[in-house]
């Protein structure tokens, strides 16, 4: 067997010593790394600076001066877990190394909105859009996503079932009272139309007659329905039947529960009374299907406020500036051409 000849060394082109390198015009943001130091809770993070060039807010801060371990950017109101979630995403933009749960996407939405990561904000909104409105409504209010809020209110105002107590807790007292008023408006018109067609003029409503008789004995005839409920609650230990009678009066009342009245009654009582009113009103034939009250008008203040927040997050991201040409290299090239 013949001996194998040693492999010939690879011939390399000689390095062009003395030939000036071309003047750079840009830095490669992924491979020309500068680092920036952040302090989150009790820990320092030293991360590539380029990852934050698309954050209008953070880039503005870190551009003000040198950011070192001795002078880190202090990130208040952010936990290490939240910051780690953000770093996991921006280290490979748009492709998380593992599936994110909705709580983690909520963190991304929070930090992306706060620090003006416009692309990450869009990504978080896209990944949260398929979740329940009970997840999205608090986020929409906090971080300016008008579409989520408008869509949730529209669905809740038009669906067949009344908002539940748990749902009302998510919505809050104001939104709950407004939604019940919107839902009730066509039902009240159904009631009026039915009474116009069926009830002989001059006949007394038996529910109202019975309630009036009860409240005459209680000397509450001069009080409105809400006050009767509040007074009856105070006397609950003495005469529990008074409260039931007061609730009947409030449920039978034509006027919807106002926001001021809901504030007096409290969230739980408001939800129960409004649900009872809807049940009673749905016993009348359905002549009018949709409400004359619009989501845009009834929620105008809240939707406008959220829209203002949303517009603020649409600012264009900041990009790294290009490097200026080196004067020396430019002059040498000019002389060579001459």
At a CB cut-off of 8 Å and minimum separation 6, what does 307 contact?
Answer: 144, 146
Tell me which residue of 185, 161, 150, 197 sits closest to 305, measured CA to CA: 150
Question: Residue 231 CB: number of other CB atoms within 10 A?
Answer: 16
Q: What separation in angstroms does the CA of 290 have from each of 62, 147, 191, 286?
A: 54, 21, 14, 10
Sheet with strand 43-48: strands edge to edge: 43-48, 35-40, 73-75
pLDDT given for residue 338 in this prediction: 46
Q: Which residue has the tokens 């706060």?
A: 114
Give φ, ψ of 58 to 5 degrees.
Answer: -70, -35
Structure tokens at 149: 């809020």
Q: How far apart are CA 305 and CA 146, in angstroms?
A: 9
Q: How far apart are CA 180 and CA 189, in angstroms?
A: 15
pTM of the model: 0.73
Q: Where in the chain are all domains bearing CATH 3.30.710.10?
A: 35-131
For β-strands 35-40 and 43-48, DSSP reports them as antiparallel
Helical (H) or strand (E) element with 38: strand 35-40
C-beta of residue 13 within 8 angstroms of C-beta of residue 56: no
Question: Residue 60 CB: number of other CB atoms within 10 A?
Answer: 12
C-beta of residue 173 within 8 angstroms of C-beta of residue 258: no
pLDDT given for residue 164 in this prediction: 95
pLDDT given for residue 325 in this prediction: 39
For β-strands 35-40 and 73-75, DSSP reports them as parallel
At a CB cut-off of 8 Å and minimum separation 6, what does 42 contact?
Answer: none
Q: How far apart are CA 120 and CA 218, in angstroms?
A: 63
Q: Please tell me the CATH code under which domain 35-131 is placed.
A: 3.30.710.10
pLDDT given for residue 140 in this prediction: 96
Q: Which residue has the tokens 């003006």?
A: 116
Helices then strands, each counted (H, E), the chain? 16, 3
Q: How far apart are CA 46 and CA 38, in angstroms?
A: 7
As averages over each run of 10 residues, the pLDDT of the chain (338 residues) reads: 58 59 70 84 89 81 74 90 92 70 95 90 94 96 96 94 96 96 90 74 52 46 70 68 82 90 93 91 80 89 92 58 41 46
Q: Which residue has the tokens 């002059």?
A: 331
What are the beta bridge partners of residue 337? none
Tell me which residue of 56, 121, 60, 128 sits closest to 93, measured CA to CA: 121
Tell me which residue of 256, 320, 246, 325 sits closest to 292, measured CA to CA: 256
Q: How far apart are CA 111 and CA 8, in angstroms?
A: 58
């Amino acid at each position: 067997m013949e001996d194998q000849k040693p492999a010939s060394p690879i011939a390399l082109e000689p390095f062009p010593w003395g030939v000036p390198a071309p003047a750079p015009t840009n830095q490669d943001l992924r491979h020309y790394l500068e680092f920036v130091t952040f302090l989150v809770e009790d820990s320092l993070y030293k991360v590539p600076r380029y990852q934050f060039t698309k954050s209008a807010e953070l880039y503005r801060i870190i551009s003000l001066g040198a950011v070192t371990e001795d002078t880190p950017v202090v990130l208040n109101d952010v936990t290490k877990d939240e910051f780690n979630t953000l770093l996991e995403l921006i280290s490979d933009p748009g492709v998380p190394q593992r599936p994110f749960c909705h709580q983690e996407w909520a963190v991304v939405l929070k930090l992306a909105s706060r620090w003006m990561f416009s692309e990450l904000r869009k990504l978080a909104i896209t990944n949260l859009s398929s979740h329940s409105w009970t997840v999205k409504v608090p986020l929409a209010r906090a971080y300016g996503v008008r579409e989520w809020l408008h869509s949730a209110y529209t669905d809740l105002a038009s669906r067949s079932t009344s908002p539940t107590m748990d749902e009302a807790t998510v919505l809050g007292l104001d939104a709950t009272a407004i939604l019940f008023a919107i839902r009730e408006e066509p039902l009240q018109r159904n009631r009026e139309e039915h009474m116009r067609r069926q009830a002989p003029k001059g006949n007394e409503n038996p529910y109202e007659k019975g309630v009036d008789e009860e409240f005459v004995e209680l000397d509450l005839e001069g009080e409105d329905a809400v006050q009767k409920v509040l007074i009856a609650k105070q006397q609950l230990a003495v005469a529990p039947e008074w409260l039931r009678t007061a609730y009947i009066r409030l449920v039978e009342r034509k006027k919807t529960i106002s926001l001021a009245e809901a504030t007096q009654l409290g969230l739980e009582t408001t939800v129960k009374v409004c649900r009872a009113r809807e049940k009673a009103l749905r016993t009348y034939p359905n002549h009018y299907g949709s409400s004359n009250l619009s989501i845009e008008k009834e929620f105008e203040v809240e939707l406008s406020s959220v829209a203002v927040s949303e517009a603020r997050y649409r600012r264009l991201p900041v990009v790294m500036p290009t490097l200026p040409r080196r004067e020396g290299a430019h002059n040498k090239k000019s002389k060579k051409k001459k």
